[in-house]
Structure formats: structure tokens, C-alpha cells
A and B are shown apart, each in its own frame.
Chain A
Amino acid sequence: MQRTVDKIIDRYGAEEAELLAVLMDIQAEYNYLPRPALERVSEVMGVSRSRINYMATFFSAFSLEERGKHICTVCMGTACHVRGAPMLVEEFERILEVKAGGTTEDMQFTLETVNCVGACALGPLVIVDGEYHGNQKSAQVSRLVKKVRKADAKEGAA
């Protein structure tokens, strides 16, 4: 992990102003901010752990806990809200048996909400592993989850 973190820091340089960019790349690499990675950042960039933690908890792009293999994100922007986004969250919560923000016990799914991704004309919008699904209805949620599970099963068999 140390080597990966060092490589990320090298991309931007160890200046303080690059802290946000470095943390974002670590988040992208591991899907969360692992503690040893943050310790390394603190050491190399000469920034205190408390400041790093402050950043990590302030910005919603970061997670301090390990996330699932698949990320389901429900957009909670205004346009999505008036077209029924809260019901989509509830349906995801029911099917995945986890509250928004949480990860399933088997570490397969993390359910997240986001305060608008700017695809408002497609609302309500769900993003599964980076793929956008517009104009969703509660009844379609189970299909989205099934599709991911099926693809995984296929991959496992092969």
C-alpha cells in the first residue's frame, strides 16, 4: 500500500494544496480511505493526521469505511426528489437489507445517496457501478440488483 500511496503523491507533488487530489485518488484506488494510507500521506506530505481526518470527514467524496464491490447510488437532487427518488431509496434498502450509506454484510453492495449528479432531465436517476439508469421506478430496482448479481454469478462460474 505504501508504494501505491507514494506513486499517487508523486503524481501531484507533496505540496499541501494537493492534499484533496491525493485523497481523491486514494479513494478511487481503494474505494475508501484505508488508515495506513492516510498515515503514509501524513508522513510524506508533512500534514497532520487531524487535518487529514478533518478533510476526510468534511467532503462527501470520502469514506473511512471499506465499501462494497458494487456501488448503487440514488440521486437525491430536486428534480429526482419530485419524481420519486425517496421511494427508490426505500426499495433499495428493502432489497439489499441495508440502510442508505451502509454496506451489505457480504461486502457486495454499498447503497449511497448523492445530492445531485446533474443528469436532472433523467430523474429519478440511479447509478450502478458508474452506469446511469434514468427514469427509474421502484418496481425496476429489483431488476437492477438482479442484473448485477447475475453478472457476478456468471463471472464466478467462468
Chain B
Amino acid sequence: MSCSPEHTSIDLSKLKLLNSGGDLAEYRAKLQGDKNPDRKIVSVCTGTGCKAYKCDSLAEALRDEVCKAGLEEKVEIVATGCHGFCERGALMVIYPEEILYQKVKSENAADIVAKTLAKGEVIEELLFVDPVSGKKCTKENDIPFYKHQQQELMHGGRMLDPRKIDDYIARDGYSALVKVLGEMKGDEVIDQITKSGLRGRGGGGFPTGVKWRTCKDAPGEQRYVICNADEGDPGAYMDRSLLEGNPHLIIEGMIIGAFAIGSSQGYVYVRNEYPLAVSNLTTALEQARAMGLLGKSILGSDFSFDIKVVRGGGAFVCGESTALMASLEGYVGEPRAKHIHTVEQGLYDQPSNLNNVETWANVPLIINKGVDWFTGIGTGDVSKNPWGGSKGTKIFSLVGKVNNTGLVEVPMGATLRQIIFDIGGGIRDGKKFKGVQTGGPSGGCLPEKFLDQPVDFDELTKAGSMMGSGGMIVMDEDTCMVDFARYFLNFLRDESCGKCTTCREGLKRMWELTNDICEGRGTQKHIEKLESLAKVVMDGSLCALGQTAANPVLSTLKYYREEYEGHIERGECIGRVCKPLISFHITAECNGCNLCALNCPYDAISGEKKKGDTYKIDQDKCTKCRICYQSCKFDAIDIRTGTQG
């Protein structure tokens, strides 16, 4: 047999049209029976993160080596969606042993096949070494990053190729849909979702079942179900990963929702910045349609529903429901006042039910595993009031200055400390924790005293931030909180649609005020003005973008006021970020290696080679680009600020 590269595109005409739930069950049994049950599965992450580490050529090289070794019957290479541990890409896991190899390159493929897959030997160099204990971890679950997670939504995607519907079906995919179509009425589905306590994962936390009920009961000729995949919060990428890695899960959730509500047309509004998600989702829809899981008379029933993919044009505000629907209609994404909610009058003035990607992904799981399973995870009590708690798991994008960055899925109610320290492995380079930013530009920054705060829809709001869609950006002592507030204001003034004066002009002025403080021109008046403007922007804006825009400023003013005052009173930026307030100096640690002088693009460093004490930085020429600081191998560059300078 020749070892030719695998063709990932599937001939749609060869897919079997399924006419009933029985057909699907039969087809699944055949898929499962065709494969050697004792085979090893090598799950190679091919999410966007690992793509940067050339995972595609790794998967190809592994396939090639497996073929050359004649192991094709015994080993299956699966190019999957995101595994979550993006920090350590390219990632691969060998099942059933659960051996995890990290930072794998295609050059390692031959060794992996010859040693691990053929003989069962573990390759030590590719194992993860726990930076805290110094121990090598062979199995995925030995690694603290995975051990403390509860992957319900993400796990499925790690075992299947998102470009192959067969993989999803073989792992019980579309069985929730069969159950709904065969055994349930629309109202029963809505009741189940309501009882489960599922709340909107986009950050709003509105009970999904209640929304579905309102949509179903609203008068209208056509009802729409829409998936919000316009994941605009900077620092958050769980929706991208779900869409890329397990698109059929989202599609199945949407079909179930459409059945419950009585809709025949759905949309997925997805960011154009996510090309792989668009491509995998489009492929998945084509395959589902070819098999009769989407389109006219789904699985031979009298229920018809189809989904269209619409790419967003790169506007943050389009994550807002009315803006999103305007954009779907071919207009610019400007929000309107919500005297009447979109769930009653949305797209083309018809009842439109909009849920986030992660919310849709939960639906098939709740149908399959049951309400009790779902309410068994999380906080509070939702048996009487759907707002009474936060149930299920939540995926967070744990990024910034933390050791183990990536996507983590935990039960609602896990504490910030568990997420950042137990899973994330604490702060990088032995630095100190300064704060964590949650909830994107609408959220806030929380300092150390809140580390034991449970994370769910309600608890973080009490502390002055919010859970939001799941972005969690960790900051260390080298972060300047004034600069951080300025960053969000810059983001928001750029993304404001411009409709409301308070948001359009107010954010610009607030940015100028923080910019003055960062550049050393701040006074106490600046802080007072910031606070009063914040109130005006919040009160005077139509949509959530403006209404919550001041949160990053207000929360940093509340918890890090001394940093604002340090900038104003002492010209001091303790994060050593704000350029006008810092200066670079060479210390006694210098041994004269000359690397800094070689690398300095501005010829600002001079000295006599091998004579450390002769090196100096010319402050007039220095632009504070940090290249010397990054290139020095002896920690001999000091950044001074305020009175130190």
C-alpha cells in the first residue's frame, strides 16, 4: 500500500441519507464495528494555537510513519480541535494510555511511531515537566493543568476530527436530536432546559429556557434561532475553539432549539477573524445537510430547519443582539433601543432567539445526560428560580502572565485561586500576582483579596467585575493598571459605533485623561473628571458597550487608586510600563558582553567590550523600546521610575 497524504475533504454525494433515528443508530453501529476496538487513537491538536506550531505537518508526518510501519489497522491518527493547553503546543495524546506529548515537532514523528506506538516505550523528552514540583508527567491527568479541570464540553472535541461527521456520529453524536424528535414535544424540551438552570454563556447570564419560551410564545410568522459567534471580547477564545473543534455539537444544539421554539431558519454569525472556525463549520453544515440531519424533513420527520453561516465584518459592537441582527440584514451593526426585545421582534421584526456558542453546546449534553446531571454541577439552587444559581461548567480563557495559558473548563463556582494557581500554575517567572481582569471590556480588575471568590454569574458582579464570556487575563507586578485602563478605553473608543454622543465623545475624553496620567501630565482633577465622565457614559448610552464601558476604569480606580496617584504625585509607574515615567540603566551585573549595544536599534548603548562598568545608555537617544532589556542574559538592565530615576 502506498503512503499517500490523507484527503480530508469528504465527497458529499457518498454520505448516506438517513431517514429515521433507527437509520442513524444503524449507521453508528456500523461505524463503530468497522474499526478495530483495540486500536490506539492518537489525538493531534490542530486548533489555531497549535497551527502556529506546525501541527498540520506533524499529523501528516505521523500518518506517514504509521503507514510505513504497517500499523494502520492498529493506530488511528485523529486531527482534532483545540485541547486547551495552547501554551505547550503542538500537543498530542495517545489513547487508551493517555500519554501526553507536548511541544512536539514533525521531526519527532518517526520516534513516536517506532518507540511509543510500536513498542509502548515513553519518550521522556516530550513529556510535560511540572514547573512547581519538577516532576515529569506521563499521563494527561498527572498534569495539574488537566487534573483540576472538569471537561464536559471540550472533551468530545478532543477525540474527533471536526471535518468528519462520521467521527461525531460514532461518538453518539446527534443522539440527543433523535431523542428530541422521537420522544419529546417542543414544550418538554423548553421545560428541561429551563429546569436545568442553563444560563447564557455570552456573559449576560439570562436563563436559556426562559428566553426560548418567550420566543416561542411571541406572535410572528417566522421564528429565527441565531448563534452568536461574534466573540469580540479581547482575551477570550473559547467560542472559536468550540466551533473549530466540535462544530456538530453546536449544530445539534441549534436544531434542538429550533425544534423546541418552532423555527425553520437559523444563522451563525461568526467573526471573520476566525477563518478556521468558518471553514470547519461550513464543512460540518454541508455534511449534516447531505445526511438529512439538516434541511427538509430532518431524519424523515416533519420538522425542517436549515442554518446559514454569516461572517461578521470585524466590529465588536456586533456581539450586541440588535446590532448583530442589523448586520444579518445587510446593514451596519448599530444597536437600537430595546423597548421591545429581539426575542419578540428581532431579525426582520420576527421573534429571534439568540444564544452564544457555548450555550448551544450545552444543549445536547443536557438532553442526553439529563437535568439532574447538569444541576449537580455548579452553584445555587435553580429548582424554583432559574436565576437562583449558576449550573454546569464554564470554559475560561486563562491568559496573560500565568504559567499555563490555555482554555480551561471548570464547574461554575470554582474559585479564582483554583483556576489561576492550581490549573494555571501561578504567575510566570516567579513574579507577584497583581490582579485578574475578567469579563472583557465590560468587566473589571480584581486584586489579590478576591482570589478565593467563587466564579459564577453572580459572585464576581458583587465584587465589582463580572464573569462575562470567560476571558481571564492575569496580570503580574509588571503591569501598569493605569495603562491597562487606558488600553480598554482605547479599545472601546475604537469600537464604539458612534450613535450615542456620550459613548462616542465620552470615551474619547476618558482616554485622553488616562493618557495624560500615563504620560506624566495628570493631576487630581484628572481622576475627578474620569469619575464624573464614567457616570455620564454609563447613564447616557443605549447599549451595553457604552453602559459598561467605564467598568475597567472604575474597578482600577477602586482597587488600584494608589497607582493613579503614584503617576500623578511622584511620576512613578510601578508596573514600569509608561514610557515618559521610566528610564533604562545598566547595572553592576554587566559583564560587557556587548549584546545590548549590538541589538540597540538607536545606537544608544556604548561601552568597551568585556568591561562591564564602562557600559552606558545615552538617555537622549534611548526610545525605551526594551530590546536591550529583552536581550540581556545577565539581568543587567534596570528600569527605574519616579524617585529612583
Contacts and interface: CB of A to CB of B under 8 A. Distances in A.
Nearest to A73: B273
Interface string B317-347: 0000000000111111100000000000000
B333 A121 contact: no
Contacts of B564: none
B630 A77 contact: no
Given A115-B494, A120-B397, A138 B310 contact: no
B234 A77 contact: yes
Contact of B627 (A62, A117, A122, A139): A139
Given A17-B330, A55-B313, A83-B400, A119 B49 contact: yes
B565 interface: no
A44 to B, nearest CB: 14
B236 A120 contact: yes
Contact of A18 (B240, B316, B330): B330
Contacts of B406: 121
A81 B274 CA distance: 20
B235 interface: yes
Contacts of A61: 272, 312-314
Task: Give the interface size bracket for A toward B.
Answer: 35 or more
A43 B567 CA distance: 56
Nearest first, the 3 A-B pairs at minimum CB distance are A59-B313, A121-B86, A118-B237
B599 interface: yes
Which of A20, A24, A55 gathers the greatest number of chain B CB atoms within 10 Å? A20
B495 interface: yes
A55 B312 CA distance: 12
B397 A114 contact: no
B19 to A, nearest CB: 30
B103 to A, nearest CB: 12
Contacts of B333: 58-59
A26 B517 CA distance: 43
A99 to B, nearest CB: 15
Contact of A139 (B52, B87, B599): B599
Interface stretch (A64-72, A87-95, A102-110, A149-157): A87-95
A79 interface: yes
B315 A78 contact: no
A8 interface: no
29 contacts: A17-B328, A21-B311, A23-B313, A51-B331, A58-B313, A59-B332, A59-B333, A60-B313, A60-B314, A76-B234, A77-B235, A79-B399, A79-B473, A81-B484, A82-B400, A82-B479, A90-B625, A91-B601, A91-B627, A94-B625, A115-B491, A116-B236, A119-B48, A120-B471, A121-B87, A122-B86, A123-B399, A134-B49, A134-B52
Interface residues of B, number: 61
A82 B475 contact: yes
Which of B237, B274, B312 gathers the greatest number of chain A CB atoms within 10 Å? B237
Given A90-B625, A120-B237, A123-B399, A82 B52 contact: no
A35 interface: no
Nearest to A123: B399
Nearest to B309: A21
Contacts of A119: 48-49, 52, 86, 237
Given A21-B310, A120-B405, A133-B52, A139 B630 contact: yes
B495 A115 contact: yes
Which of B52, B236, B240, B623 gathers the greatest number of chain A CB atoms within 10 Å? B52
Contacts of A118: 48, 231, 236-237, 240, 271, 273-274
Interface string B266-282: 00000111100000000
Interface string A10-53: 00000111111101100000000000000000000001000100
A21 B310 CA distance: 7
Interface string A124-155: 01000000111001110000000000000000
Given A115-B316, A115-B495, A24 B52 contact: no
A134 B87 CA distance: 10
A117 B495 CA distance: 15
B391 interface: no
B573 interface: no
Given A116-B232, A116-B234, A117-B273, A122 B313 contact: no
Contacts of A138: 625-627, 630
B264 interface: no
A138 to B, nearest CB: 5
